[in-house]
């Protein structure tokens, strides 16, 4: 089973913002089968993909010297989980940057079938929004920086 919480990083501005696309995988759709909700990737997994996007923002911004961990979810208005064949956009931007933490705001929006990878106009109709904080830590204590750089190139399609 392969877990890929960020399928594509479409835009990135160091220490400011990142936009990602997430598509549900077959494994994710079957996570809730035991509770009678097959065919739906859990909404909590969509929040986790935003935390992973924040991790990529920190790692790429710091030239792969830092990473981050979820510190606190301030609020999160969830959208319904993904159904088979669906994808969604998440746009995160930094609202506060400290020496040891970041606070990020997020917007999520479901991609319509046939809609390309262009950043949608979120306007006031994002399907989900929220705010969360992450704590910064040294990347080398947890990962091999060269491995993370390789994966970053893969999701950036470089």
| pLDDT tens readout for residues 136-149 | 999 999 999 999 99
Contact 40, 52 (CB under 8 A): no
Name the range with the highest mean pLDDT among 10-14, 36-40, 106-110. 10-14
CA distances in angstroms from 36 to 26, 77, 111, listed in the order given: 16, 23, 25
Six token digits for residue 52: 């992973």
The answer to whether residue 2 sits within a structural domain is no
The answer to whether residue 126 sits within a structural domain is yes
* Structural domain containing residue 70: 8-156
The answer to whether residue 134 sits within a structural domain is yes
The answer to whether residue 133 sits within a structural domain is yes
CA distances in angstroms from 37 to 25, 30, 31, 41, listed in the order given: 15, 8, 8, 9
**Banded pLDDT at 27 (limits 50, 70, 90):** low
Q: Give tens-digit pLDDT for 70-103.
A: 999 998 887 776 777 778 888 999 999 999 999 9
Q: Is the dihedral of CA 28, 118, 8, 136 positive or negative?
A: negative
**Banded pLDDT at 114 (limits 50, 70, 90):** low
Q: Is the pLDDT of residue 31 over 70?
A: no
Q: Give tens-digit pLDDT for 63-72.
A: 999 999 999 9
* Domain count along the chain: 1
The answer to whether residue 148 sits within a structural domain is yes
The answer to whether residue 3 sits within a structural domain is no
Q: Is the pLDDT of residue 107 over 90?
A: no
DSSP state letters, 14-55:
TTTEEEEEEE--HHHHTTTGGGT-TT---HHHHHHHHHHHHH
**Banded pLDDT at 126 (limits 50, 70, 90):** low
The answer to whether residue 1 sits within a structural domain is no
Global pTM? 0.85
Q: Give tens-digit pLDDT for 36-59.
A: 766 666 777 788 889 999 999 999
Strands 17-23 and 8-13: antiparallel
**CATH number, position 103:** 3.10.129.10
The answer to whether residue 30 sits within a structural domain is yes
């Amino acid at each position: 089973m392969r877990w890929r919480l960020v399928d594509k990083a479409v835009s990135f501005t160091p220490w400011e913002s990142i936009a990602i696309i997430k598509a549900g995988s077959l494994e994710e759709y079957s996570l809730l089968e035991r509770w009678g909700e097959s065919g739906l990737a859990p909404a909590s997994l969509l929040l986790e993909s935003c935390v992973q996007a924040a991790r990529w923002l920190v790692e790429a911004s710091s030239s792969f010297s830092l990473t981050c961990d979820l510190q606190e979810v301030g609020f999160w208005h969830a959208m319904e989980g993904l159904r088979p064949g669906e994808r969604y956009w998440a746009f995160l931007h930094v609202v506060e940057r400290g020496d040891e933490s970041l606070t990020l705001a997020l917007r999520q929006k479901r991609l319509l079938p046939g809609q390309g990878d262009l950043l949608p106009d979120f306007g006031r109709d994002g399907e989900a929004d929220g705010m969360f904080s992450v704590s910064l830590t040294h990347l080398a204590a947890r990962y091999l920086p060269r491995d993370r750089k390789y994966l970053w190139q893969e999701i950036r399609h470089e």
